[in-house]
A and B are shown apart, each in its own frame.
Chain A
Amino acid sequence: MFTETPLIRRKLRNEFAAKCVFGLMALAMVIPLLVIVGYLFWKAFPLLSWDFLVTNPTNGMRKGGIWSAFLGTLYLVGISLCISAPIGVLAAVYLNEYARENWFTRIINLAVVNLAGVPSIVHALFGLGAFVLFAGMGRSIIAASLTLSIMTLPVIIASTKEALSAVPISFREACWNVGASRWQTIRHIVLPNSISGILTGVILQVSRTAGETAPIMFTGAVFFKKISEGNLFAYNLKDQCMALSMHLYTVTTQVTEAPAALPYAIATVLVVTVLAVNALSIGLRVYLRSRKKW
């Protein structure tokens, strides 16, 4: 057995101190999340109800609910993902299955990395210049969705690429050996085996898109718009729409005499939506990883 010399005792103490210091640093990130969500929820509690979600804002945003903003966010997220998910997944298929190791592929990879780093407000400028003005779409849901979809594209490419490269190469080789073509291999072997990873990445983007404000401010989101309540198809693609994130910004900075709980309630709905979608994605990942076949 070891005898406990002063040196060993000092080492143990040191070890413990290290663990505490770094642990506290990690804790400094866990606590904000809990405090923020808890605080928002506590402040918003008086206003939260089903009615809040399904009624339009009235009386200059001071009364009523958030229905038009909520539906607008659903539209923006849905349409932008319908555009970016197929392009992103196919781009990742290209990078992982077709592209060779050469300068061209390196440039594509660099472009993906840089696209991911473009500030959201620059995306807004791009959307305004390209879709709203150049393509003549005007400020509309479709222009805002296109802007958002280009913003989410690089992240979808990155996560899909990771999912595709997790499929063992021997699966593909076996498929080629029975005479399948490249696309048949992808369609019947690679995609089915990586669909869980791809879905996780795409779902994660739902939450990111839902929270974005800057890219839609000048491309399609408006201060206020009244739509029919309870109708899921109340917006037209050419319309401008409200969005939860934008609504939170305007209520906080531009609406005077709004009830104190209102911005908290909007923020809570936004955060809960985002975190719920994220949790769904994480849960799916954990579940699917546990029943992986290889």
Chain B
Amino acid sequence: MAQPNSDMRRRQRWQRLSEPVIETVIRLCGISSIVFVFGIFFFVFREGAGFLFKGLDLSQFLTSTEWYPTSQSNVRYGVLALIAGTFSVTVLAMLIAVPFGLGAAIFVSEFCGGRMKETLKIVIELLAAIPSVVWGFIGLSVMNPLIQDVFHVPVGLNVLNGAILLALMSVPIMVSIGEDSLKAVPDSYREAALALGATRWQLIYRVLIPAAKNGLLAAVLLGVGRAVGETMAVLMATGHAVNIPKSVFDPVRTLTATIAAELGEASAGSDHYQVLFIIGILLFSITFVVNLSADLIVKGIRKK
């Protein structure tokens, strides 16, 4: 009898000691993501801060289209053309991706059943898994000649090329979030509409889309967030020329691609190097706002 008793007591003591330790570790891990978000902002800011407060002309930075970071005589850091590049590629990508993404979400949620639905969702998941550098490579070696042939333009590395790639990359997230929000619409809405003699079109346009519009908006916003932050695909496929595009066949350069292309050459601590970190802060802020609004919209739905 004594044996199991002492054994039990030892285990109890061990538990009394170990439980608080484990709980502390779990709590620390719990707050780690806050630490990391602040850490990212802090360290990116820290590298760029010196030049941000001393030397950088902020109004010129945001309004000038002249990006000559390595010029010998007259160095100019104007990111307007880069912002225009990011903006044009993202907008065109969304013009392609939103109808397809939401259309596919409606198809998966309303027209498919059982096995077909599972298969489509798996394919979408696999599409999301293709690495961005592979997309970039496809843009460079497949889409480039294709665009040249189809549209008879001299260069195929342009806004259109990048936008098609970004559309393909952001469609999966739109489909999965969009499908979730359509699934959240109660079946009684559908039944009521069908009982009134509505066609599927009417059901979708008059009932489902208004009822799920917040979720669909969040889906689009998350797609935008992904498109703005995408680096490798646009670096390889948009032609890498700093200018404000006048048509979809003009090459552009985005904020992300600029960092990726120039950070390796800029010597640590130089003005050029610090400006790239300031662009990083700009990107971080843009995606922060986009993701925050998407999250608030989704939370808004759950409360209702």
Query: At the interface, yes or no: B69 with Cβ under 8 Å from chain A?
Result: no
Within the complex, the shortest CB–CB distance from A264 to chain B, in Å, comes to 8
Of A50-58, A62-70, A233-241, A274-282, the one with at least 4 CB within 8 A of chain B: A274-282
Query: At the interface, yes or no: A33 with Cβ under 8 Å from chain B?
Result: yes
7 example contacts (A-B, Cβ-Cβ < 8 A) are as follows: A29-B100, A115-B37, A125-B280, A130-B39, A182-B19, A214-B256, A253-B236
Q: Which of B247-294 contact A (CB under 8 A)?
A: 256, 259-260, 263-264, 268, 276-277, 280, 283-284, 287-288, 290-292
Within the complex, the shortest CB–CB distance from A160 to chain B, in Å, comes to 11
Bound complex: CA of A108 vs CA of B131, how far in Å?
28
Query: At the interface, yes or no: A201 with Cβ under 8 Å from chain B?
Result: no
Bound complex: CA of A277 vs CA of B197, how far in Å?
47
Within the complex, the shortest CB–CB distance from A100 to chain B, in Å, comes to 12
Bound complex: CA of A22 vs CA of B106, how far in Å?
7
Contacts of B137 in A (CB 8 A): 248-249, 252, 263, 267
Within the complex, the shortest CB–CB distance from B276 to chain A, in Å, comes to 8
Q: Which of A110-153 contact B (CB under 8 A)?
A: 110-126, 128-130, 133-134, 150, 153
Within the complex, the shortest CB–CB distance from A292 to chain B, in Å, comes to 16
Query: At the interface, yes or no: A36 with Cβ under 8 Å from chain B?
Result: yes
Task: Tally chain A residues at the interface, Cβ within 8 Å.
Answer: 86
Contacts of B264 in A (CB 8 A): 217-218
Contacts of A181 in B (CB 8 A): 15, 19
Q: A125 and B259: CB pair below 8 A? A: yes
Indicate whether A218 sits within 8 Å of B263 (C-beta atoms), given known contacts A15-B199, A26-B103: yes
Least CB separation from A98: chain B residue: B26
Interface residues, chain B, with chain A CB atoms under 8 Å away: 15, 18-19, 22-23, 25-27, 29-34, 36-37, 39-40, 43-44, 46-47, 99-100, 103-104, 106-108, 110-111, 120, 122-127, 129-134, 136-138, 140-142, 168, 171-172, 175, 199-201, 204, 222, 225-226, 228-232, 236, 256, 259-260, 263-264, 268, 276-277, 280, 283-284, 287-288, 290-292, 295
Q: B23 and A98: CB pair below 8 A? A: yes
Query: At the interface, yes or no: A91 with Cβ under 8 Å from chain B?
Result: yes
Bound complex: CA of A20 vs CA of B107, how far in Å?
9
Bound complex: CA of A108 vs CA of B236, how far in Å?
35
Bound complex: CA of A112 vs CA of B162, how far in Å?
28
Q: B111 and A126: CB pair below 8 A? A: no
Say which residue of A249, A253, A275 sits within 8 Å of B126 (CB atoms): A275
Say which residue of A113, A126, A204 sits within 8 Å of B295 (CB atoms): A113
Bound complex: CA of A157 vs CA of B130, how far in Å?
22
Of A167-175, A205-213, A224-232, the one with at least 4 CB within 8 A of chain B: A205-213
Q: Mark A1-40, 1 if CB is under 8 A from B, else 0.
A: 0000000000100110011011101101110110010011
Would you call the interface of chain A mostly helix, strand, loop, or mixed? helix
Indicate whether A117 sits within 8 Å of B126 (C-beta atoms), given known contacts A25-B100, A26-B103, A94-B27: no
Say which residue of B37, B199, B295 sits within 8 Å of A14 (CB atoms): B199
Query: At the interface, yes or no: A79 with Cβ under 8 Å from chain B?
Result: no
Indicate whether A117 sits within 8 Å of B43 (C-beta atoms), given known contacts A94-B26, A183-B19, A217-B264: no
Least CB separation from B138: chain A residue: A36
Name the 9 nearest CB pairs between A and B, nearest first.
A211-B131, A119-B229, A94-B30, A25-B103, A117-B291, A22-B107, A90-B29, A129-B43, A26-B104
Contacts of B39 in A (CB 8 A): 126, 130
Contacts of A82 in B (CB 8 A): none
Query: At the interface, yes or no: A80 with Cβ under 8 Å from chain B?
Result: no
Q: B127 and A32: CB pair below 8 A? A: yes
Bound complex: CA of A98 vs CA of B26, how far in Å?
9
Q: Could you list 13 further interchain pairs (A-B, Cβ under 8 angstroms) beyond the known A115-B37, A122-B229, A252-B137?
A: A28-B104, A29-B175, A36-B130, A91-B30, A108-B31, A117-B225, A125-B259, A126-B39, A150-B40, A217-B263, A245-B232, A246-B133, A249-B136
Bound complex: CA of A125 vs CA of B220, how far in Å?
27
Q: Which of A256-294 contact B (CB under 8 A)?
A: 263-264, 267, 270-271, 274-275, 278-279, 282
Q: Which of B43, B44, B134 gathers most chain A CB within 10 Å?
A: B134
Within the complex, the shortest CB–CB distance from B179 to chain A, in Å, comes to 11
Q: A122 and B40: CB pair below 8 A? A: yes
Indicate whether A249 sits within 8 Å of B232 (C-beta atoms), given known contacts A18-B204, A122-B44, A211-B130: yes
Bound complex: CA of A221 vs CA of B129, how far in Å?
21
Say which residue of A25, A26, A218, A248 sits within 8 Å of B99 (CB atoms): A25
Q: A18 and B201: CB pair below 8 A? A: yes
Least CB separation from B258: chain A residue: A121
Query: At the interface, yes or no: A220 with Cβ under 8 Å from chain B?
Result: no
Bound complex: CA of A210 vs CA of B123, how far in Å?
19
Say which residue of B47, B171, B225 sits within 8 Å of A125 (CB atoms): B47
Q: A110 and B295: CB pair below 8 A? A: yes
Least CB separation from A14: chain B residue: B199
Q: A87 and B131: CB pair below 8 A? A: no
Within the complex, the shortest CB–CB distance from B16 to chain A, in Å, comes to 9
Q: Which of B31, B39, B131, B226 gathers most chain A CB within 10 Å?
A: B131
Bound complex: CA of A181 vs CA of B22, how far in Å?
12
Q: A122 and B284: CB pair below 8 A? A: yes
Least CB separation from A245: chain B residue: B133
Query: At the interface, yes or no: A107 with Cβ under 8 Å from chain B?
Result: yes
Within the complex, the shortest CB–CB distance from B159 to chain A, in Å, comes to 19
Least CB separation from A91: chain B residue: B29
Least CB separation from A247: chain B residue: B133
Q: B288 and A114: CB pair below 8 A? A: yes
Least CB separation from B35: chain A residue: A111
